Structure 1
Amino acid sequence: MRKKQLWSWGMVGIWMTIIFLFSAQQGSSSGSLSTSVLNMVSSTWAFIFPSLPFDEQYLHLFIRKGAHFSVYFILGGLVSNAFRTSGVSFKKQIGYAFIFSTLYAASDEFHQSFVPGRGPSIVDVGIDSVGAAVGIFFYHGTRKIILPLLKK
């Protein structure tokens, strides 16, 4: 295995481990992490816009689901890169990366069914899959459009 290929798949493995560790947090730990982010955003909002109220419950939901989208956005890009460095054709890179990321999202939700205070959610698998798809297309868009412009 070439060094670049090994590095790419190693980054995928590291990121999957990070996702696994977040999912292994008990419900109370996971909730307190998102609550601390909520408090930070809330206090910043109150400082910048003191007279504009906002719905903290909606923001809390947005933070939690945004975290799902974000971590799978990164995973989608990393998996695409790993398939590219492995010599997989362009169309297959997209399909394989999406399938890989979606299957990992489903297995992650299944894993959460064994964690106290957590549970599986098909909605989260959907959000994860959309995040992965956007990450895959962002990765390829960056490689095909932005990188050539930077080389000029």
Structure 2
Amino acid sequence: MSGNKKWWMLAAMFWMLIIFLVTQLPYFTGERTASAINEVSGAGKGLIDELNFMIRKASHFSAFGILAFLFYKVMSNYRFAYFFAWVTAFLYAMSDEWHQSFMPDRMASFKDVLIDGGGAFLALVLTFLVSRWRKAVGS
């Protein structure tokens, strides 16, 4: 593995650790997020619930999009790198939800796995499009 790939692998492992810790820590429950939104905004219950939902799902979407991009950078020299990066991110999302099922005040949700997979997919599509655009501009 080249030196550059090692840095990408280290970044992917670090990001996986961050995801693991966020799942592990009790500070990131839906109730605590709603409480933080209430303190900052003072919005009504309905708006807090909507913001809480959007923030939590956007964090799932983006966290696993970043992870898929990092996996792609590690595997970019291989055939089907986009596919394997997505599968690896999706499998990690499944393991993260399973891990979350053991945490107090947390719930596992296959819906969240699908959101994670969607974020990974979108990140890889954007990576592909940017890569093609750069090749076209560079030609």
TM-score by length of 1: 0.79
Cα separation, partners in 2 of 1:57 and 1:37, compared to 1, 3 Å: closer
Instruction: List per-residue Cα deviations over 1:38-74 (Å, max 9, x = no partner).
Output: 654x37xx8xxxxxxx722111111111110010111
From 71, 75, 87, the equivalent of 1:99 is: 87
Residue 17, structure 1, aligned to residue 5, structure 2? no
**Structure 2, unpaired ranges of 5+:** none
SS in structure 1 of the partner of residue 25 of structure 2: coil
SS in structure 2 of the partner of residue 120 of structure 1: coil
Residue 116, structure 1, aligned to residue 104, structure 2? yes
Cα separation, partners in 2 of 1:144 and 1:75, compared to 1, 3 Å: same
Match of 2:127 in 1: 139
Verify the 8 A CA contact 1:105 1:128 in the aligned structure 2.
yes
**Structure 1, unpaired ranges of 5+:** 47-53
Cα separation, partners in 2 of 1:35 and 1:64, compared to 1, 3 Å: farther
Match of 1:76 in 2: 68
From 14, 28, 44, the equivalent of 1:30 is: 28
Verify the 8 A CA contact 1:75 1:135 in the aligned structure 2.
no
**Highest Rg: 1 or 2?**
1
Q: What percentage of aligned pairs have identical amino acids?
A: 30
SS in structure 2 of the partner of residue 115 of structure 1: coil
Match of 1:49 in 2: none
Aligned residue type for 2:15 = W
Cα separation, partners in 2 of 1:88 and 1:119, compared to 1, 3 Å: same
Number of residue pairs aligned between Structure 1 and Structure 2? 135
Match of 1:60 in 2: 52
